């Protein structure tokens, strides 16, 4: 990020092209946030001169990046024209991976999913399947950002995954490969954290009176003998100092790991009791407003008893509303679409101080 003010102004004014790109980035982010804006609104909110805004908007219109959204009602003078992104001009590509399945997405500049494809990796070579999908979509559209959701612990542009035959972790540099090959902005995110983001966004759409920046939620996933989670605090995903936040299955308990402890439950009664214990720990540590339970191994018929058990166990101020997350893939798609769309205009920013 390049900041204006002090040395930053001198650096920017000495490089007109950098200043232009910075101003374009600010205008794009404003339009993405607002949806539409007039030239006067853009100038007022960004601090960029009206003359510069007029020139940049003309350039963006000529490239087909923007379109007119109509005119405001006249207040006695000339009607102000309102502008918005053309959603089909730029796109992002996203990949949603689990240990057994891969989906590819194409996302427009408004964050809407315009294509979903299930990717085939019959030989188990997920990397080849991902590259084949990205090669196809980058040949067909102008892709400005790529999002990668992966089943592992993310560390920059690589992620760590546990070997099937032991607990050893090994590194997969998928983000580095994609960044080098396509030369666009890349976001790499853990699958469950992306799912949590998607579930939170869907919940906010269903209940628009909720304030997204105040969202405090835990998403717990039960799949293939694995317990994992994504946490949102104050509207932001919780990563942890080494990106290991949410790896519940690795927690030791009673001489085993929590993964095995849950899956070894003898019957529904014991299963319910163990899930209640896990959720109570999460409530005591994070105090979320909501706890969403999902995944193919989540016993849906146990949701009600789990909620009842927590109500009886926890003090009122520690309790969370228990929600059921019925469609992990829907949430995963929405989360990765959101993360990818946010990278579409991830350029140099001009910050006025």
**Region for 42 from its dihedrals, namely left if φ exceeds 0, alpha if ψ lies in -120 to 50, beta otherwise:** alpha
Q: Are 258 and 227 in contact (CB under 8 A)?
A: yes
On the 0-12 / 13-18 / 19+ scale of CB atoms within 10 A, 6 is exposed
Instruction: Tell me the two tokens of residue 140.
Output: 């067909």
| Structure-token pair, residue 206 | 């269903």
Q: Give SS3 for 120.
A: coil
Strand order in the sheet with 81-85: 37-38, 81-85, 66-71
Q: Given this model, what pLDDT does residue 136 score?
A: 97
Which H or E run contains 171?
strand 169-172
CB 53 within 8 A of CB 86: no
pLDDT computed for residue 24 by the predictor: 86
Closest CA to 190 of 346, 339, 342, 344: 339
The per-residue pLDDT for 166 is: 64
Mean pLDDT of the chain: 86
Per-residue tokens: 16: 């007109």
d(CA 247, CA 229): 6
d(C-alpha 47, C-alpha 49), whole Å:
6
pLDDT at 15: 66
Spell out the residues 6+ positions from residue 47 whose beta carbon is closer than 8 angstroms to its own: 352
Q: What is the DSSP letter of 88?
A: T
Regions of the chain short of the pLDDT cut 50: 1-14, 348-353
The pairing of strands 290-294 and 217-223 is parallel
Taking only the tens place, the pLDDT of each residue in 237-246 is 898 888 888 8
């Amino acid at each position: 990020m390049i900041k204006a003010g002090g040395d930053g102004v001198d650096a920017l004014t000495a490089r007109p092209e950098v200043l232009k790109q910075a101003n374009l980035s600010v205008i794009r982010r404003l339009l993405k946030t607002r949806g539409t804006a007039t030239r006067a609104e853009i100038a007022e909110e960004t601090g960029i001169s009206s003359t510069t805004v007029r020139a940049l908007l003309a350039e963006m219109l000529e490239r087909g990046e923007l379109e007119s959204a109509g005119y405001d009602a006249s207040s006695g003078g000339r009607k102000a024209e309102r502008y918005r992104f053309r959603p089909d001009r730029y796109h992002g590509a996203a990949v949603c991976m689990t240990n057994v399945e891969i989906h590819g997405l194409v996302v427009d500049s408004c964050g809407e999913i315009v294509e979903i494809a299930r990717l085939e990796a019959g030989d188990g070579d997920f990397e080849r399947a991902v590259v084949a999908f990205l090669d196809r979509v980058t040949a067909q559209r102008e892709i400005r950002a790529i999002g990668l959701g992966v089943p592992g612990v993310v560390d920059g542009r690589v992620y760590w995954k546990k070997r099937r035959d032991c607990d050893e972790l090994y590194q997969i540099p998928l983000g580095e490969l994609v960044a080098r090959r396509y030369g666009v902005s890349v976001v790499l995110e853990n699958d469950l954290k992306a799912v949590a983001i998607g579930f939170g966004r869907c919940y906010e759409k269903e209940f628009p009176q909720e304030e997204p920046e105040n969202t405090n939620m835990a998403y717990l996933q039960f799949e293939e003998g694995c317990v994992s989670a994504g946490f949102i605090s104050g509207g932001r995903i919780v990563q942890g100092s080494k990106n290991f936040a949410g790896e519940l299955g690795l927690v030791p308990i009673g001489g085993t790991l929590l993964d095995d402890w849950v899956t070894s439950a003898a019957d529904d009664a014991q299963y319910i009791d163990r899930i209640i214990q896990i959720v109570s720990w999460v409530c005591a540590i994070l105090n979320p407003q909501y706890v969403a339970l999902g995944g193919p191994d989540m016993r849906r018929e146990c949701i009600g008893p789990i909620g009842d058990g927590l109500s009886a166990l926890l003090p009122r101020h520690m309790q969370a509303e228990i929600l059921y997350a019925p469609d992990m893939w829907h949430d995963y798609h929405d989360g990765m679409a959101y993360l990818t769309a946010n990278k579409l205009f991830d350029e140099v920013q001009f910050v006025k101080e």
